[in-house]
Homo-oligomer: A and B are copies of this chain.
Amino acid sequence: MISPGELIQLVSPQGKKYLRILTPGEELHTHDGKIELSPITEMGFGEVVYTHLGRPYRIIRPTLYDIIKNIHRRTQIIYPKDIGYIVMRLGIGPGRRVVEAGCGSGALTTAFAYLVGDNGRVHSFERREDFVKLCEDNLRRCGLRNRVELYHRDIAQGFSMEEADAGFLDVRTPWEYLKEFAQAVKNGSPVGFLLPTTNQVSMLLTSLEGSVFVDVEVVEILLRRYKPNAQRLRPEDRMVAHTGFLIFARVSK
């Protein structure tokens, strides 16, 4: 049975997806009619619920990928292909304490919150108030708000925390905050950066030289889709060719 407060996804017969927190008493309005959410608390994932017009909607548990795609965005969000690798390199998982700055719409924040579980914690810093609100809304919509400390704060003033297990900066000039960033994470911790241009990567690498950030790695992740046609298998005609460069390092104070 699905508990109230859990995140669910309702899939229409046509494949349209609705992401909701299971809140007894609420209704979902669809083109196929409305669905009362209360009865779902007595059902399980994989089962079918009907609209008041009798249309079947499948109840499924959204994946992290589904959740990220569902984020309301006013910025370019980090792509799943990049998030997957970031998570691996930073060792994000149950119980971890992560710090990040430049939340934007909150895609990475969401992924971190999803993965650290109830015993972990995400500390997110954002300078723009509208983004803090947006990020907060997005986290609330997928039931992950309680795992995140959101700070409306310019990290130039320092991160008001220490001892994170891992850190990530998605800001335009990360080289300006290296000292503060290093202080926010435990010694030995993995950290990452996302930058769109080669000039920024060079700037950051220059600043990392001789700093407490060691074992530097610069990578780009590319995702190539194929048309899923058994008899005519081939890559899709077009692809996203660039989202950003990922830079990883380890803090060695």
Q: Point out residues on A near B: beta carbons under 8 Å.
A: 11, 15, 44-47, 58-66, 68, 80-81, 83-95, 111, 114-118, 165-166, 186-190, 196-199, 201-203, 205-206, 209, 214-242, 245, 247, 250, 252-253
**6 cross-chain CB contacts under 8 A:** A62-B91, A63-B89, A81-B85, A219-B226, A238-B240, A238-B241
Work out how many copies of this chain go into the complex: 4
**Contact present for A65 and B93 (CB under 8 Å):** no
Out of B61, B91, B187, B232, which one reaches A188, CB within 8 Å? Answer: B61
> Which B residues are in CB contact (< 8 Å) with A215?
15
> Which B residues are in CB contact (< 8 Å) with A93?
64, 114-115, 117
Out of B116, B233, B236, which one reaches A198, CB within 8 Å? Answer: B233
Contact A188 B60, CB 8 Å, known A117-B117, A233-B202: yes
**Contact present for B233 and A242 (CB under 8 Å):** no
Point out which of A68, A84, A187, A228 has the most chain B C-beta atoms below 10 A from its C-beta: A228
**Contact present for A94 and B91 (CB under 8 Å):** no
Chain B proximity of A122: nearest CB distance (Å): 13
- In the complex, residue of chain B having the shortest beta-carbon distance to the beta carbon of A214: B15
**Contact present for B85 and A87 (CB under 8 Å):** no
Point out which of A61, A84, A88 has the most chain B C-beta atoms below 10 A from its C-beta: A88
